A and B are shown apart, each in its own frame.
Chain A
Amino acid sequence: MKYFKKLYLFMSLLLGALLFPEVLLAQQVKDVRLTYLWDVTLSMKGYNGSPDIYEKVVNAMAKDIESVTNDRTEIVVVPFQDSEMLEEWRYPATSEGKSALIKKIKDYKNDKVTNTNISAPILYSIDKIFSIDRIDVMKLMTDGDDNVDKKKLENVLNSWCEIAQSKDVFGYYIMLTDAARKGEVLIREKEICRFETVQGIDIDAIISLTPQKSVAHNLRDGFENDVVVKFTPNDGAGRVPGGFKVLVRSEDNPYVNVDAVVELGDDFTIRFKPEFKMSQDELKDSLPVDYNEAISLKFVPAVGMDKSPYSLIRILDVPVKMLLVNKPEKTMRFYVR
């Protein structure tokens, strides 16, 4: 019986680790890989009456690449048209790597009229680029609609959420012109997770904010305290303008309700007061003392944050747990000011 208990405990832990690997990886540092899927069809150069945005996109990409400071980051560029056979330029974000990559982008020549195949570069990235050892950020930049195989694109997008969560990928569907809006409709309709849509050419101004994965609220001696959640901005040129507001909500639970709009501070933190559904003493009696109850929090830009100057700020869809700490704990927090 004693051995059975131990085996049961071990199996539970193993199953937990397999089902929720992000819990084990919660405080680990993963390097980032930045992948640009770059539409190089001739419409980008003004073919057939479309606006000529080629140079602007090249310059914005170059600026975005140049602004990466962490030389452990890997940068990949995949130019695409309609072919399933794709070129891939992969460089580390060292100053030499960035210069070589920017040169490759600027020197790229293409004069062939082709269709636009959006599913091919996404599938290529899933198969050949994304990996579990890095956080992958994919920026798909297009000025048009997929006119090769729409059904295939739908299927790719349908499977995106699961793959993105398992491989820790965040996608940006960047609509360089209004002609690319159909992709946005598809992503919004299907409510595809980890795939943000962004309008415009200012690729370098996109800012992604990653919330910390767990925040502890001590019910014993910090009951009245604010909950402080720290966000980490991406490594790049973008700056968050003052006044950016975040809507924070908690999942349904018997203990606490969070539904607040709060402003992001200069130190990239937000502070909010949880509304407890019972008194401190009742909570102490209701909550377990041998483990901490975890409540899921969701962070999204507040209403009005889709307008300038905030329209290019995104909060990454990362599961955040608020731990209701009821067991006696010695805790320390520090803030760099």
Chain B
Amino acid sequence: MFANLLRLFAVFFVAVNLIGCTAEEKDIVAWGSTKEYDDFLWEDFIPDTLTRTIAFEFNKDARRYGSAVTLGVFKRSDNGKFVPVDPAELEIFVNGAKQENIRITPDMDSVKVGFVLGRAAEAKGHHWYFRAIDMGGMDRINDIEVADLRSDDAVLSEIVVVKKHIWNPVALVLFWVLIVLLALLLLWFGMGRNQVYPKFRGGSIVVEYGNFYKVLRIGGCKQVVCTKGGTKQESALSQLFTGKVLYMKDSTGPWVSDVVFSPSSRKRIRLRYKTADFTADSNLLSKGEVYNLKSISDGTEIKLTIQ
């Protein structure tokens, strides 16, 4: 039985692992890739800053006579025109300070530019463009003549920023815990419970002594307990997870201690009692047979008919 359970768990965990491994991740790296998730319980989303270094080369004349060049990040609107990327979609950080655009003076060699994608940015690959907002008196930027750069649809460079929407890590862990729990419950109720706590498949036990006569329908129960009474009662949870126990209570009966019937095999019932209190013909009761159980203390003969 234990071996069967182990096998079942093994199959289950292999299946879970296979499902996990088939989820393919593919990253397209240009400016970078970021993941966003919704706030959930105590885990709030903190956006990544995608930082890249932009290096500059100004020639001698540019260093001597040029002024600051301003680069903006643009996207294409539905009608194909270039429009600045909305600050709700993109926050720009230049050397750690939030800026609207990237301003470069000819004495700079490089700047660290960080992009933080806002909630308004869709989860997809964003194709954005650097355009010169202020040419700073340059004649040529990135090999492109300034006259060409003034065109409405001229760009300096294209960048791809990928945003993926993922599950909140806490929600994801909880989800998988839930899935594992559900799977374990399914396994337990489908197979495990009946392996660990076998049930009577049907039939009945007729208990007779003195004037007492009772037919106990035992189908679906995991145990039958003959007892004097008291507060013995299976909790609902225990009944759900391990099965029902049928109590036969008789406060005036010969039940000095509990006598327990449980399934042994398809056609046999195991009888358990304290040998100091009872004696019986057999501890294994077969269907269609009649057995005697005798109380040692008062000598009451109890007739057990297995049907």
Q: Which residues of A contact B (CB under 8 A)?
A: 26-29, 31, 67, 69-72, 95, 212, 214-216, 218, 221-222, 232, 237, 323, 325, 328-337
Chain B residues with CB below 8 A from A330, complex form? 58-59, 61-62, 65-66, 137-140
Max chain A CB contacts within 10 Å: which of B124, B127, B141, B151? B127
Are B55 and A331 neighbours in the complex by a CB distance under 8 Å?
Answer: no
| Stretch from B153-161, B225-233, B280-288, B298-306 at the A interface | B153-161
**Segment at the interface with A among B142-150, B179-187, B207-215:** B142-150
Complex Cα–Cα for A318 and B227 (A): 96
Given A27-B154, A29-B76, A333-B143 contact (CB < 8 Å):
yes
| B125 at the binding interface (Cβ < 8 Å) | yes
The answer to whether B125 and A70 have CB atoms under 8 Å apart is: yes
Residues of B within 8 A of A232 (CB): 158
Contacts of B80 in A (CB 8 A): 31
Cβ-defined partner of A331 (8 Å) among B59, B124, B153: B59
Contacts of B144 in A (CB 8 A): 26-27, 214
What are 11 sample pairs from A and B whose C-beta atoms fall under 8 A apart? A27-B151, A214-B143, A218-B59, A222-B59, A329-B61, A329-B139, A330-B140, A334-B55, A334-B56, A337-B54, A337-B55
Residues of A contacting B66 in the complex (Cβ-Cβ under 8 angstroms): 330, 332
8 Å CB contact of B124 from A71, A215, A334: A71
A residues within 8 A CB of B26?
67, 237
Separation in Å of the A294 CB from the closest CB of chain B?
A: 12
Q: Does B234 contact A (CB under 8 A)?
A: no
Q: In the bound complex, what is the Cα–Cα distance between A70 and B125 (angstroms)?
A: 7
Closest CB in chain A relative to B55 CB, distance in Å: 5
Contact of A69 among B57, B125, B151 (CB under 8 A): B125
Q: How far is the CB of A327 from chain B (nearest CB, A)?
A: 8
Known interface pairs A28-B155, A330-B59, A333-B143; 13 further A-B residue pairs with C-beta atoms within 8 A, sorted by A's residue number = A26-B148, A28-B154, A71-B125, A215-B143, A330-B139, A330-B140, A332-B56, A332-B136, A332-B140, A332-B142, A334-B54, A336-B54, A336-B159
- B274 at interface by CB-CB < 8 Å: no
Assuming the A-B contacts A336-B31, A336-B54, are A27 and B139 also in contact, with contact meaning beta carbons closer than 8 angstroms in the complex?
no
Known contacts A331-B58, A334-B54; decide if A29 and B129 are in contact (CB<8 Å): yes
Contact between B138 and A331, CB atoms less than 8 A apart? yes
Q: How far is the CA of A237 from the CA of B160 in the complex (A)?
A: 14
Number of interface residues of B (CB under 8 A): 48
Q: How far is the CA of A323 from the CA of B140 in the complex (A)?
A: 12
B18 at the interface (CB under 8 A from A): no
CB nearest neighbor in B for A292: B145
Looking at B53, B55, B59, B127, the one whose CB has the most chain A CB atoms below 10 A away is B59
Is B52 within 8 A of A95, CB to CB?
Answer: no
B142 touches A333 (CB 8 A): yes
Contact assessment for A333 and B141 in the assembled complex, using a CB-CB cutoff below 8 Å:
yes
User: Which of A70, A71, A214, A334 is most buried by chain B, counting CB atoms within 10 A of its CB?
Assistant: A334
**What is the bound-complex CA distance between A328 and B106, given in angstroms?**
17
Residues of chain B from 5 to 28 with CB closer than 8 A to chain A in the complex? 26, 28
B69 at the interface (CB under 8 A from A): yes
Contact of B52 among A26, A71, A337 (CB under 8 A): A337
Closest chain A residue, CB of each to CB of B162: A69
Chain A residues near B127: list those with CB within 8 A. 69-70, 72
In the complex, the answer to whether A72 meets B124 with C-beta atoms within 8 Å is no
In the complex, what's the smallest C-beta–C-beta distance from A237 to chain B, in angstroms?
8
Near A by CB (< 8 A), chain B positions 91-148 give 104, 106, 110, 124-125, 127, 129, 136-144, 148
User: Which residue on chain A has the smallest CB distance to residue B102?
Assistant: A334
Q: In the complex, what distance in Å separates the CA atom of A27 from the CA atom of B158?
A: 11
What's the Cα separation between A310 and B71 when bound, in Å? Answer: 36
Q: Which of B57, B69, B71, B162 has the most CB of A within 10 A?
A: B57
Specify which of A27, A70, A331, A333 lies most central, judged by the most chain B CB atoms within 10 Å of its CB. A331
Residues of A within 8 A of B71 (CB): 334
Question: What is the distance, in angstroms, from B192's C-beta to the closest C-beta of chain A?
Answer: 40
Residues of B within 8 A of A212 (CB): 143
Greatest chain B CB density within 10 A among A31, A95, A237, A329 is at A329
Are A27 and B155 in contact (CB-based, < 8 A)? Answer: yes
Q: How far is the CB of A93 from chain B (nearest CB, A)?
A: 10
In the assembly, what is the distance between CA of A215 and CA of B143, in Å?
5
A227 → chain B closest CB, angstroms = 10
Complex: how many Å from CA A323 to CA B76? 29
Q: Find the A residue at minimum CB distance from B30.
A: A336
